[in-house]
Amino acid sequence: MLRAMLYVQWRAARWLLVPFVLLAFGLPLLVLGAARRFALEGGELLPERLIALQSEAVFFFPALAALTGFVVALAVWQWDHRTGHVYALSLPVSRPRYVLLRLLAGMALLAIPVAALWAGAITAVAATPVPAVLHAYPLAFGLRFLLACLIAYTISFAFAAGTMRTTLVVVIVLVAFLSLGTVAVEVTERLTHTTDLYRPIELLHLALLTWPGPFQVFGGNWLLIDV
């Protein structure tokens, strides 16, 4: 069953994956190639400049991971959405099992852009004479990309699997939390003459983007060559 699902998933997503595979392979080459060119001085690579130049482009990798996960998750459900899920519901598998099959097949597809990124990272590192004080981390870089892809994929998958109503409810709750929470904090600060309360947006940031928040991986260290 998983094989059949994997094949169908592959048929649904293969053309959508092409630009992401090309980007995943090409981006490490481009970033490291540019950093290498501009960090070169007197025939030698300046370690600080190499790191600083890589840092300039550090946003692209988590963004690519998020977009890859998002697109694969949408591709996973698009055929079922188009048929009103009638075919899926008529198959003799329980709904949790069907969702699990879809989830796993989509995860397996993510291996393709991740492998492309890995290949790109290894090639880029191989073409760069790493200064003695620095180290290359293509393996960790690939793992970080894989993790970011999986997080983006599973969250997008959950939304895509649900109804528009579920998505709306989540969005409304989030907006209500942010707006009402902000008003509540403002009022409390004025009444109590304090200024050290957390805003809802700061709470969200702390909960999601800092360790052990699920999105911490997106804001972490995305340098291919580092100390």
DSSP string, 167-198: HHHHHHHHHHHHHHHHHHHHHHHHHHT---PP
Confirm or reject binding of residue 212 to other proteins (CB under 8 A).
Answer: no
Side-chain-side CA neighbours of 27 within 13 Å: the count stands at: 28
Task: Considering the complex, state which of residue 94 and residue 195 has its C-beta at the smaller distance from other proteins.
Answer: 94
Task: Indicate whether 11 belongs to the interface with other proteins (CB under 8 A).
Answer: yes
Asked if 30 touches other proteins (CB under 8 A), the answer is no
Using the minimum distance from each CB to other proteins, give the nearer residue, 12 or 27: 12
96 binds other proteins (CB under 8 A): no
Residue 1 sits in the site that holds other proteins (CB under 8 A): yes
Q: What is the phi/psi pair of residue 136, to 5°? A: -95, 140
Q: Among 24, 43, 45, which residue's Cα sits nearest to residue 128? A: 45
The rounded Cα 47 to chain-centroid distance in angstroms is 28
| Part in contact with other proteins (CB under 8 A); list of ranges 37-45, 69-77, 79-87, 159-167 | 79-87
Residue 128: count other Cβ atoms within 10 Å of its Cβ. 20
Residue 83 binds other proteins (CB under 8 A): yes
Q: Measured from the CB atom, is 72 or 121 closer to other proteins? A: 72
Q: Do 119 and 24 form a contact (C-beta atoms < 8 A)?
A: no
Residue 90 touching other proteins (CB under 8 A): yes
Helix, strand and coil content of the chain, in percent to the nearest 5, comes to 75, 5, 20
Q: How far is the CB of 132 from other proteins (least distance, A)?
A: 53
Asked if 8 interacts with other proteins (CB under 8 A), we say: yes
Candidate list 42, 43, 94, 163; residue touching other proteins; CB under 8 A:
94
Residue 31 binds other proteins, judged by CB under 8 A: no
117, exposed or middle or buried, with CB in 10 Å at 0-12, 13-18, 19+?
A: buried
Dist CA 148 CA 145 (whole Å): 5
Cβ-based nearer residue to other proteins, 11 or 135: 11
The reply on whether position 166 binds other proteins by CB under 8 A is: no
Residue 18 interacts with other proteins (CB under 8 A)?
no
Q: Which residues bind other proteins (CB under 8 A)?
A: 1, 3-4, 7-8, 11-12, 79, 82-84, 86-87, 89-94, 97
